[in-house]
Amino acid sequence: MVSLFVLYHSQEYGNTKAMAEAVAEGAQAAGAKVTLINTNEKRLDIEEFRDFDAVAFGSPDYYSYIAGGLKMFVDDLYIVRKSNRQGLEDKPYGLFYSHGGGGRVREPFEKLFRIMRIGSKIGKTIESNGSPNSKVLEECRVLGQQLVEKMKNFG
């Protein structure tokens, strides 16, 4: 069974959380086992990241950058990978974010994850201005599904 990890930060209204849950829904409907973690609630132990086949990352726009909790994951990943890269790269990944009307986080968000060489990026980066509407939620479900299909094709 394909395993999808959805790592996101959500704190203010739950906007990014709603998007994360829609990604998870799409992946589950495509037959995946999904694990969701909100970096506002838990700091991920990078060892746990090794086991997932594919991943979706979500963040609110905080001052035109990603939230600190998700940035902490990226920093931890860089440091842990220096000693053992096994299972920490070559994962298809997707990105989603919410914002309050500015939304300038897109470029640094995409750049950071490109630099981190997580794996191949799947789909376009999904954006929500405030609370995600039904169109955005559907885009999130499709992303979840695409990530799972990509892994099925690998197998």
Ligand X SMILES: Cc1cc2nc3c(=O)[nH]c(=O)nc-3n(C[C@H](O)[C@H](O)[C@H](O)COP(=O)(O)O)c2cc1C
The residues binding ligand X (CB under 6 A) are 10-17, 60-64, 98-103, 130
Smallest distance, ligand X to C-beta of residue 57, A: 13
Which residue, 19 or 27, is less far from ligand X as judged by CB?
19
Nearer to ligand X, 31 or 130 (CB): 130
Nearer to ligand X, 17 or 150 (CB): 17
CA atoms within 13 A of residue 118's CA, in its CB half-sphere: 26
Nearer to ligand X, 103 or 119 (CB): 103
Cα separation, 12 vs 59, in Å, equals 11
Q: How far apart are CA 113 and CA 57, in angstroms?
A: 9
Residue nearest to ligand X (CB): 102
Q: What's the closest the beta carbon of residue 70 comes to ligand X, in angstroms? A: 11
Nearest CA-CA partner of 144 in 39, 57, 59, 50: 57
CB of 63 to ligand X, least distance (A): 5
